[in-house]
Amino acid sequence: MMGNSSIINERTERTQWFLQDRFGMFIHWGLYAIPARGEWVQSVERISNEDYKTYFDEFDPIRYDPSAWARAAKQAGMKYAVLTAKHHDGFCLFDSALTDYKSTNTRARRDLVWEFLEAFRAEGLKVGLYYSLVDWHHEDYPAFRDNHHPMRDNENEKRNPETFSQYLSYMHGQVRELLTNYGKLDIMWFDFSYGEMVGEKWKATELMAMIRSLQPHIIVDNRLESGGEGGGSIYTNNPLSYSGDFASPEQIIPPHGVKDQDGNSIPWEANITLNNNWGYTAHDLQYKSITTVIRKLVECVSKNGNLLLNVGPNAMGEIPRDSLDILAGVGNWMAQNSASIYECGQADLSKPEWGRYTQKGNRLYAHIFEENIGSINLNGLAGRIKKARLLADGSEVFLNRPWNAILFMEDAFLSFAKPEALTYPLPDKRNTVVELE
């Protein structure tokens, strides 16, 4: 068992920065920005590689300016970013020696990954790359050539084990390129395992040994062993070498965070889109509100998790205006309230009915989501709070009105007005944070 406890210890070491930073940008960008019907378009519409090549021939993102992306991420309060170096369609945004299907062979003639990494590092952000295990383009990934849908993929019938091992060499080779030619990377984000395509089907022990030897500090997601639904040996007290450093719930914030079988917290990051798609989708205008995004971020942190929030730049290379507006709004909130996010985690209190707590040492952050309430009840905190201040402006919030102390012996009480007043609107009615010391 020694090996496994050391896997957990090393995971704890490697993920320290990750658990402090809490908030990152996911970027889904590739040829699918041109059809603009989501990153699964080739599979969903059964587009042949020959027809899909139209987009390769046309790809020319003349307004790609990763410094602008990096500024938007930083202003939003994000501390790291993850770009799709290769998605399921197999198109590489980097100058791989192992394929011609890459951005440097398009009209762009640019190594888009390299420029992304430079720009985000220059803004002081940590950087990661997404790499799809699934590959609809590679000729030795035969199961997807006729039928791109993995859930309906009958690999026993369609996949030739000998040619598949050539795909594995290609995949391992590209991971080696990314970890060798692009400087220090902070995150490696694989996507995804499904059905029988799990773990050693990817030669995962060998792959992880290579990753650890090339970049010992990089953190890896858990998808060499699982899909977006969660799972894998990271959830046990007996994780395998390729169990990954963090769990990656997709489009969901787990009700109770992520814990292993013994109830210990596991590092985790919810990956969530701004609208209903990952890749740029012109007709999808169902964007989440600024408030919804802020509350999702707070919810993740209140359960010891991170939020990796996705943007899908368009074919010109720009993050859509709607997305930029949301990021700016989240950034305005973060500019005043990020002390309740960074280095914070779950509080030793149950969820209050008016919002959520986060905690950092002896500082408790009361995130108030209900509107138009003049006072809130702090169950179980009577006598434990020295002072209460609005995090946004440092202004005083009143504690412990005498008659409340009598009515609620266990509770403290916060009031946003002088003690005589019964109700009073909160200074900022939405997503107000009170710092309790």
| Least Cβ distance, residue 26 to ligand H79 (angstroms) | 7
Minimum CB separation of residue 90 from ligand H79 in Å reads 13
> SS3 of 408, please?
coil
Nearer to ligand H79, 120 or 192 (CB): 192
Contact 245, 219 (CB under 8 A): yes
Taking CA atoms, 425 is separated from 322, 334, 432, in Å, by 30, 22, 11
Calculate the CA 207 to chain-centre distance.
23
In the 8-state DSSP scheme, what is residue 287? P
- Per-residue DSSP letter, 206: H
User: Which residue lies nearer to ligand H79 by CB, 95 or 191?
Assistant: 191
Strand, coil or helix: what is 157?
helix
Binding footprint of ligand H79, residue count (CB under 6 A): 11
Token pair belonging to 295: 């509350």
Stretch of residues binding ligand H79 (CB under 6 A), selected from 36-44, 56-64, 314-322, 341-349: 36-44
Amino acid at 85: A
Q: Can you state the angle between helices 161-181 and 204-214, rounded to 10 degrees?
A: 10
Question: CA–CA separation, 111 vs 63, rounded Å?
Answer: 14
As measured in angstroms, the least distance from the Cβ of 174 to ligand H79 is: 17
Rule CB under 6 A: say whether 44 interacts with ligand H79. yes
Q: Which two tokens stand for residue 73?
A: 């991420």
Distance CA 306, CA 296 (A): 10
Distance of closest approach, residue 280 Cβ to ligand H79, in angstroms:
12
> Which single residue is written with the structure tokens 């919030």?
397
Shortest Å, Cβ 313 to ligand H79: 14
Of residues 225-244, those binding ligand H79 (CB under 6 A): 228
Is 41 or 433 the residue whose CB approaches ligand H79 more closely? 41
For ligand H79, the closer of residues 271 and 400 by Cβ is 271
Q: Which is nearer to ligand H79, 250 or 428 (CB)?
A: 250
**Contact yes or no for 236/203 (Cβ under 8 A):** no
Binding of ligand H79 by 192 (CB under 6 A): yes
Please select the residue that binds ligand H79; options are 39, 111, 245, 284, rule is CB under 6 A: 39
CB of 38 to ligand H79, least distance (A): 6
Pick from 89, 191, 299, 318 the residue near ligand H79 by CB under 6 A.
191
Shortest Å, Cβ 153 to ligand H79: 11
Structure tokens at 330: 């989240």
For the purposes of burial, counting CB atoms within 10 Å of the CB of 9, is it exposed (0-12), middle (13-18) or buried (19 or more)?
A: exposed
Instruction: Decide whether 83 or 376 has the Cβ nearer to ligand H79.
Output: 83
The two structure tokens encoding residue 112: 């888009």
Distance between CA atoms of 140 and 90, rounded to whole angstroms?
Answer: 12
- CB 239 → ligand H79: shortest distance, Å? 22
Answer yes or no whether residue 284 interacts with ligand H79 by CB under 6 A.
no
By CB under 6 A, residue 32 contacts ligand H79: no
Does position 111 bind ligand H79 by CB under 6 A? no
Q: Does 131 bind ligand H79 (CB under 6 A)?
A: no
Query: Which residues are at the interface with ligand H79 (CB under 6 A)?
Result: 28, 39-40, 44, 149, 191-192, 228, 250, 271, 278
